[in-house]
Amino acid sequence: MNKKILLALLMLLSVLGSRAQSAPSFQALADSMAQALITHFWGASFPGYPDRYYFNYGSDLSDLSTGNYWPEAHAIDVITDAYLRTGDQRYSALFPLWWQGAPRYNFAHDGQRPWWNPFVDDMEWITLAQIRMFEATGDTTYIHRARQIYDDWIWSTWGPDDEAPWHGGITWKTDVSKSKNACSNGPAAIIAAKLAKLYHRAGFNQGKSQRTYLTEAKAIYAWLRANLFDHETGAVYDNMNSKGHISRATFTYNSGTFIGAAHQLYQLTGDKRYLGDAIRAANYVIQQKSDNFGVPDDAIRGDGGLFHGIFFRYFAPLAKEPSLSQATRDHFRNYLLYCAKVVAQQGVNPRTHLYGGRWRQAPGDHEPVCLTAHLTGCMLIEAACTLQ
């Protein structure tokens, strides 16, 4: 059977099933999974580590390595999700502690630049997390640091425009010769767009203007669209290397940040070309990257454990976009809720509330779980809460 037809049938059965019986309580599951994140991963939760204000890479002290900087951003993002959804100060109380711990455990910490990292995309995830912490709390400390990281260490890797073969683009890694990646350009465009959007609320009164941030967001997005986006299929390719060769590998997180950037720019400008791009990129994931019986592939560890969660983070706001046709909104909503239902019913351990990255097999009670995988489960269920 054609996989597109199979996917449509699976989603239809899911929708019909949810009408025949009460829908799962994604709110309750999101609460338990967020608490599991703190219980099983937050370093200071464990005796003997009172000031380890850092999310461990493995559950229950199974992996204390600190060479993974970027998952920290997504962990505090999930805590931000939980705080925005509930208003529970148990979550917001972690913000200032994480603010101390994340740079302290940054493997590239050099004493002078505690937030700097050679991976530009890692700094971008940290920057996006800080912007969201500001959005949740109004504390300008977070967004002013985010602005500094973007201005000094992210935008500074752009271009130059006349440098062949790239002609612009944000660099992926500072010590790699001019690799321009989707994972460094999509998030950078979102950051610039958000700095423009939040300019006055943040009290910016010096440095770059609001117009400049919007101009930079448009330029980054235009580069990404021109070089790594397939306008016909909606695929977002991985990178342009130092010789100008395009890697046609596709990953869900690159689609997610492309969608997020396009959607942000649509909201700021009203230009429907951005919205059309976002729709095509979303449909590519649904049609081409969800052949695991209607969901993306399993991802149980490593960087890839986070990829699907990032997609769902930026896909969910698009699924609620009022400008979409009703049919497109329903299509997107049904897909996301189907994915969430699979995880809720089969992927999460009902006792530990941990998700191990397998859609249809929950981790055992004492099985170590990778932080990246659990975060994807959390992000998907939090996304479902915004639609339910």
DSSP string, 157-220: G---TT-TTTSS--BSBTTSTT-EEHHHHHHHHHHHHHHHHTTTTTT--SSS-HHHHHHHHHHH
- In the three-class reduction of DSSP (H, G, I as helix; E, B as strand; rest coil), residue 115 is classed as coil
pLDDT below 50 — which residues of the chain? 1, 5, 12, 15-23
Give pLDDT, residue 12.
46
Q: What is the rounded distance in angstroms from the CA atom of residue 107 to the CA atom of residue 239?
A: 25
The set of residues, in sequence order, having a beta carbon less than 8 Å from that of 371 and lying 6+ positions away, is 41, 55, 56, 57, 58, 59, 68, 71, 75, 305
- In the three-class reduction of DSSP (H, G, I as helix; E, B as strand; rest coil), residue 64 is classed as coil
C-beta pairs of 342-346 under 8 Å, 24+ apart in sequence: 342/294, 342/295, 343/377, 343/380, 343/381, 344/24, 344/26, 344/29, 344/381, 345/24
Question: What is the biggest distance separating any 2 CA atoms in the chain, rounded to whole angstroms?
Answer: 60
218-245 per-position pLDDT tens digit:
999 999 999 999 999 999 999 999 899 9
Report, in angstroms and rounded to the nearest whole number, the Rg of the chain calculated over CA atoms: 20
The set of residues, in sequence order, having a beta carbon less than 8 Å from that of 231 and lying 6+ positions away, is 280
Q: Does the pTM exceed 0.85?
A: yes
Give pLDDT, residue 3.
54
Place of tokens 């996006």: 128
Give pLDDT, residue 16.
38
Q: Is residue 261 within 8 Å of 280, Cβ to Cβ?
A: no
Give pLDDT, residue 25.
87
Q: Is residue 337 within 8 Å of 387, Cβ to Cβ?
A: yes
What is the arrangement of strands in the sheet containing 180-181, beginning at the earlier edge strand? 180-181, 237-240, 246-250
Q: What stretch of H or E contains 18?
A: helix 3-20
C-beta pairs of 228-233 under 8 Å, 24+ apart in sequence: 228/182, 228/185, 228/254, 229/258, 229/277, 229/281, 231/280, 233/280, 233/284, 233/288
Taking the alpha carbons at both ends of the chain, their separation in whole angstroms is 31
Give pLDDT, residue 17.
47
Q: What is the rounded distance in angstroms from the CA atom of residue 306 to the CA atom of residue 373?
A: 6
The set of residues, in sequence order, having a beta carbon less than 8 Å from that of 227 and lying 6+ positions away, is 166, 169, 180, 240, 246
Give pLDDT, residue 138.
98
Closest of 57, 64, 66 to residue 37, by C-alpha = 57
Lookup: tokens for 123: 């700094």
Question: Which of the 8 DSSP states describes residue 43?
Answer: G
Give pLDDT, residue 11.
54
- In the three-class reduction of DSSP (H, G, I as helix; E, B as strand; rest coil), residue 121 is classed as helix
Give pLDDT, residue 19.
36
Q: Is residue 157 within 8 Å of 170, Cβ to Cβ?
A: yes
